[in-house]
Structure 1
Amino acid sequence: MRRVAQRLAGPAGATRLVCLAAVVAAVGLLPWLSGRDPALTVLRARSAEQEPTREALDAVRRDLGLDAGPLALLGDWAGGLLRGDLGTSWVSGTEVLPAVTAGLQVSLGLMGAALAVALLLAAALTAPVLVRGRGSAGGLAAVPAALPEFLLATVALLVGGVWLGALPTSGWQGPRYMILPALALGVPAGGLLGRLVADALPAVLDERWVELWRGAGVGRARIAAAALRRVLPPLVPQFGMAAVGLTGGAVAVETVFAVPGIGRTALGAAKSQDLPLLQGAVLALLLLGLLTGALAALLRRRLPGPALRDAGLVLPPARPVRVHPAVPLALFAVLAVAIGWGLLRDPYAVHTTARLAAPSWAHPLGTDGLGRDVLARLGHGAAPTVGTAAAVGLLSLAAGLALGFLPRVAAGAADIANALPPVIVGILVAAAAGPGTGGAALAVGLISWPPLAAHAAALTQEVRASAFLTAQRAIGASPWWILTRHVLPSVAAPVSRHALLRLPGIALALASLGFLGLGAQPPAPEWGLLLDESRAYVERAPWAALAPAVALALLAALAVSGAAYARGTRIPRGKEAPAGVR
């Protein structure tokens, strides 16, 4: 209890409570924030043939309590929460709580299976380092870590379900239906966990105590177990973020495989404007993310023994992964050629006689369901996909630099932001402002600043403690001069490089929202939207889905190889990206 009180006291605790209250209030006020008339939605759900007259709409408002105003509505909703009542669905007229409970049970089962896949993959990637006692699997592990769940889900459905026909591709009727969704959801998380552990282990195995243990005849298995215990506690927050990423990734995976989980329930409620069901589903996802973060924090305190707690939980610097400069250059060249070739073509020209045409010289990547050239849409979609990511990256950089000078205040907001995957924020923004590129950019921007702020705060503390700043104060330099001429330039350069490395991950997050229908809207050629549009005919024309999938995979590989090559200024341990934004 004393630790809880300490966490709630101070600026960070106050900010954490304010941000949490703001999110909960936003969920409770969705009927007013949506900008649409909820009464019209309910009337059409109850009777599509009834005319929306003023009298009919007023009757619906009185029935729902919408005529009492937003504060009364929020109070009624909060009171229902305290009684365990989430209200009644506007569309089906059934109680929301049973639907949320059923969806949550399915999602927890899927997330448990995905977590098992992630741990098995992480163990497989880490085992060679423990066996050899040197080397790193980080470069190999970074590849699956950079692939978004919705992309792996589409590829798994296409290969395992359509081409091979080995596993079911939709529904939730037994263990076999869990395999493909669990793989799609667990492989990126396993790659992330494996990369973190494999990158940190070699430096730990070079520490003095390992040499002493080996000289004393301690067995390899015991040294490996001790090394893991030394490595894991500082990485537990990243493990918690990976688990939160499972929450967000489950929305896309459940959508692809038609799994009746809480994520698909929330997405369907957002699209149908069933706000009570959306409120319950989003609240369940939010609580799941916060609970995951709290369990990770508890595990981080309990995992190390007294000796490690006394010595601190700082790991030695990890060895950088060596990447030949030709690798990112080759990936960039392939993407640049495809995009440049596509820019020479018309992305909106419709040819109904050439619908779903196979790749040919006239259409190198085939055509989509309307006969539009896939290569043209791929090329013209690069600007909205990567350009929007650049704008979000700049805003995140500005927020990270500003909040980096207020670490105690920013820490509380960062905890809430890290507990919210982009998909969940995108659902809230889409429910309030409608789906679109601006809403998707806002959703990703709201949660992409914490790693940059943490990096800036660590650098600021280091610079302020340096000897040359003490000398500047001694000769009478003003605080403004020290800030603008010394502290800010020293912090801005490495944080800017950090932000640049995050651009592909932001682009993938935006693409995932477009894939779910929460971002760019048709006929925009945004890559995530292209992948979503091609799902309807993936069996007949797989090339229409493979083109944006390969482009996104190349972008992810470019991010991995480019980040590894440019790792000269390393991001401080523990300041890496959360799993939902890669």
Structure 2
Amino acid sequence: MTAASQTPAAPPRAAPPRSAPKRWPTSLVLGIALLAPLLVVAVAGPWLAPYPYDEMNIMSRLQPPGPDFWFGTDEYGRDVFSRTLVGTTNSLVMGVAATAISLLVGVPLGLVAGYGRGRTDEIIMRCMDVLMSFPPILLGILVLAVTPPALWKAVVAIGIVYVPQVVRLTRAITLELMQEEFITAARLRGESTAYILFHEILPNIWPPLAVESSLRVVFAILLGAALSFIGMGAQPPSSDWGLMISEARPFVEQAPWIALCPGIAMGITVIGINLLGDGLRAVLDPRNTGGH
């Protein structure tokens, strides 16, 4: 037997420990669980509704919830369940569309204000301060007061109302990024202002903007419901949640289900979007290392 054959075999190398998979925050999971059915309803609501949302039947007016009408009927005999389903579509579309308008207007203004500074920054921010000096509901009424109310006009008005908040957030993040080395390097390379704004700065501000957008959707839905409640948003026979609650006021004691159903739907939507925003904040925050 040779010496080489007597050499003991080297022990097997231990496998490197596996890092624990990152867990989604509980708030993100709950938010998705609440919003997923609502998104399905928002897309397929008109087809899922058992009755036309505007179909009147005086013989069935103010019927309590039962097998024929799951959420009861209103003062015109319209099915509250069908109106709530269609109202989900209207309210979510209003919130998302108004938020998109505020982002499309506010992000470029915030980028220009933060990058240009000086007089440009001063002019833009003083205009935003003027808009922010008005309460959101009052500013929305002022925007809508010049023309007859309509749903699409309410969407535009709500988008304008929340432009200042988006501008301020975008400007603050832009001012921080202006101190980073990659911005200095882009300037030394001779890159144009547009390139720096939209290729260097904008990709780095989307995480906080994503969280901010979730909050804007919540506020837009609530403000849209408030405008419809006072008659400045959706008009009859639309099935907007705020309008449904407004129409149910004279019958709160006699038929509380007319107001409760759209109110509960609005509450679930607001809670779900808030949980989703909290979860996104935890996931996108670079300081976050856990999954709680």
Normalised-by-shorter TM-score class: 0.7 to 0.9
Q: Does the 8 A contact of 2:224 with 2:233 survive in 1?
A: yes
Aligned twin of 1:384: 90
What letter is aligned with 2:176? E
Distance 1:417-1:514 versus aligned 2 partners, 3 A rule? same
- Structure 1 CA distance for aligned equivalents of residues 254 and 134 of structure 2: 37
Q: Does 1:465 align with 2:170?
A: no
Q: Does the 8 A contact of 1:357 with 1:366 survive in 2?
A: yes
Distance 1:350-1:462 versus aligned 2 partners, 3 A rule? same
- Structure 2 CA distance for aligned equivalents of residues 462 and 559 of structure 1: 28
**Identical pairs, percent:** 31
Aligned twin of 2:188: 474
TM-score (norm 1): 0.40
Deviation at 1:535, TM superposition (A): 0.7
- Structure 2 CA distance for aligned equivalents of residues 495 and 538 of structure 1: 40
TM-score (norm 2): 0.78
What letter is aligned with 1:454? R
Distance 1:472-1:336 versus aligned 2 partners, 3 A rule? closer
Deviations 1:282-314 (A, max 9, x none): xxxxxxxxxxxxxxxxxxxxxxxxxxxxxxxxx
SS at structure 2 position matched to 1:453: helix
Which of 109, 125, 133 in structure 2 is aligned with 1:419? 133
1:110-129 equivalent positions in 2, closer than 5 A: none
- Bigger relative contact order (CA 8 A; separation at least 6): 2
Distance 1:338-1:364 versus aligned 2 partners, 3 A rule? farther
Deviation at 1:425, TM superposition (A): 2.3
Q: Does the 8 A contact of 1:420 with 1:447 survive in 2?
A: no
Q: Does the 8 A contact of 1:505 with 1:559 survive in 2?
A: no
SS at structure 2 position matched to 1:565: helix
- Structure 2 CA distance for aligned equivalents of residues 479 and 423 of structure 1: 37
Deviation at 1:418, TM superposition (A): 1.7
1:175-254 equivalent positions in 2, closer than 5 A: none
Gaps of 5+ in 2: 1-24, 114-120, 286-292
Q: Does the 8 A contact of 2:45 with 2:88 survive in 1?
A: no
- Structure 2 CA distance for aligned equivalents of residues 482 and 459 of structure 1: 14
- Structure 1 CA distance for aligned equivalents of residues 144 and 212 of structure 2: 29
Gaps of 5+ in 1: 1-321, 571-582
Deviation at 1:383, TM superposition (A): 2.0
Deviation at 1:467, TM superposition (A): 0.8
When Rg is computed on C-alpha atoms for both structures, the one with the higher figure is 2
Which of 27, 44, 64 in structure 2 is aligned with 1:358? 64
Q: Does the 8 A contact of 1:538 with 1:544 survive in 2?
A: yes
Q: Does the 8 A contact of 2:228 with 2:234 survive in 1?
A: yes
Aligned twin of 2:220: 506
Deviation at 1:326, TM superposition (A): 3.7
Deviation at 1:473, TM superposition (A): 2.5
- Structure 1 CA distance for aligned equivalents of residues 268 and 237 of structure 2: 24
Aligned twin of 1:442: 156
Q: Does the 8 A contact of 1:338 with 1:375 survive in 2?
A: no
SS at structure 1 position matched to 2:234: coil
Deviation at 1:502, TM superposition (A): 1.8
Deviations 1:158-198 (A, max 9, x none): xxxxxxxxxxxxxxxxxxxxxxxxxxxxxxxxxxxxxxxxx
Q: Does the 8 A contact of 1:353 with 1:371 survive in 2?
A: yes
- Structure 2 CA distance for aligned equivalents of residues 399 and 376 of structure 1: 35
SS at structure 1 position matched to 2:238: coil
Deviation at 1:496, TM superposition (A): 4.1
1:6-21 equivalent positions in 2, closer than 5 A: none
Q: Does the 8 A contact of 2:174 with 2:201 survive in 1?
A: yes
What letter is aligned with 1:396? S
Aligned twin of 2:11: none
Q: Does the 8 A contact of 2:45 with 2:86 survive in 1?
A: no
